[in-house]
Amino acid sequence: MNLLLKNTELDLVNHMNNKYKKGLVHYLLIVLLVYSGVYGTASIFLDNAIFRYTKDILLLFLIFFSACLIFFNNNCRIKIIITHFYLFVSITVCGTASLFFTGGWIEIIYGLKITILPMCMIFVGFILGEGFVKTFYRVNLLLYFGLILCWIIQYNLGIDKLMTLGYEYGVNVKHFNGNPRLPSLVGTPDSYAFLLALLGIIIEYGYLKEKNVKLSYIIKVSTLVFLILATIRNALLFWILFQVVMLVRGIKKKKVKVKYLSYSVLTFSGMMSVVVFSYLYNKLSSGLFSTTSLVLRLLEWKKNVPSLLSREGIFGAGLGTVGSASRRISQIGADSLDIAVDNQFLAFYHQIGVIGIIFLLIFIILNGIHLKKLAWKNDRQVQTAYILFLVSLVSCFFTNIYEVFPFNIFLWLYMGISYSYYKNSI
């Protein structure tokens, strides 16, 4: 009897400790999400080391703390999450091995910070799980409307006025065929557009989950409008692909007659879209429908991709040597190749080589398999995460999407939250 009471007391203490620890992660994560959402623009006016590195320290602490909770709590030792950990370690080893010999410490630090650490947000989302969903939606909603409001203010001020305030042309602000590309809260136009697309999708399907169809459509329309105004075509493509896949999945659930009628309408709409696209391409070939940048990217990829049989092709040049990290390193005045790549798969190949790509492919396949299983067993939350992951893989061919901050933080966190449903399915 005494032993039973002691075990009960011990279980209660462990439960309270875990609840306290998760609460700490919960509140620190809210701070990180809001901080990362406004960091880009705020850093233009607050150029000091403490402000710049606080988010990185906070991110590192949350990941380390969550990983410890997973590994030292038997209830959380879910095989897919542990597998993720070993894959991240393997990719990191592949991406840093070459740089250890060349002394490229700056590349290692920035490569880890920009690519690997955001992917580890899966652990944070997994620990908080379903209990963080409502808070996550509220933070997303706050940032979503903050992004739009700040963009509208910047649009009315104009690029010239913004440059007098400290915005840098070509980095924070730029033009696209006479239209302004503005950073909103997050510091760069690309980051703004991708975060807007992601938050719009998460909020839209969050409202659908709660059966609030009207608000869902309002979010859908406003996201599309402001993505078009942003003129960042990769982000617009990411959003459109997601909507098309979700539409097709929705049709599959309809009755047979409705299903075939819907497929007929969808096929007709697709054919008409080709006609409209051809017309707009001829009329507006220098605008949103221009293929010039795609051709330039293809030429750039061909020029910079290392040979498959070279040392870099096998082992990689190291994390941070190309992509967003290399551009950031160049901006702070350090030696860097300063190559954007604009293709996440080629960027990874350049950084981690064929050996690292093998681990990356295992990571992608495992995510696809497990999210697909969960998507068929659970609610719209996991289904949304599954489609987002698939669409992000398509976007990888056109941009370094997993290096876009803070889009990558929100994406991997959302996937981690969805993985927490795995505990209820085994």
pLDDT band at 147 (very low <50, low <70, confident <90, very high): very high
Query: Residue 146: its pLDDT value, please?
Result: 95
Which of 18-27, 66-75, 137-146, 266-275 shows the highest mean pLDDT? Answer: 137-146
Mean pLDDT to the nearest integer, 38-45: 86
Express each pLDDT in 280-300 by its tens digit. 444 555 555 555 555 556 556
Query: Residue 389: its pLDDT value, please?
Result: 93
As a whole number, the mean pLDDT across the chain is: 78
Express each pLDDT in 340-398 by its tens digit. 778 888 888 888 888 888 888 888 888 888 888 777 665 677 888 889 999 999 998 88
Which of 14-23, 114-123, 221-230, 302-311 shows the highest mean pLDDT? Answer: 221-230
Query: Residue 238: its pLDDT value, please?
Result: 94
Query: Residue 326: its pLDDT value, please?
Result: 74
Higher pLDDT among residues 266 and 198, named by residue: 198
pLDDT band at 222 (very low <50, low <70, confident <90, very high): very high
Express each pLDDT in 406-425 by its tens digit. 999 999 999 988 887 766 54
Query: Residue 414: its pLDDT value, please?
Result: 93
Percent of the chain with pLDDT over 70: 74
Query: Residue 9: its pLDDT value, please?
Result: 41
CA distance 248 to 253: 9
Which of 6-15, 91-100, 407-416 shows the highest mean pLDDT? Answer: 407-416
Query: Residue 131: its pLDDT value, please?
Result: 78
Query: Residue 388: its pLDDT value, please?
Result: 93
Q: Which pTM was predicted?
A: 0.85
Query: Which sequence spans correspond to the domains of the chain?
Result: 2-424
Q: Above 80 in pLDDT, residue 251?
A: no
pLDDT band at 144 (very low <50, low <70, confident <90, very high): very high
Percent of the chain with pLDDT over 90: 24
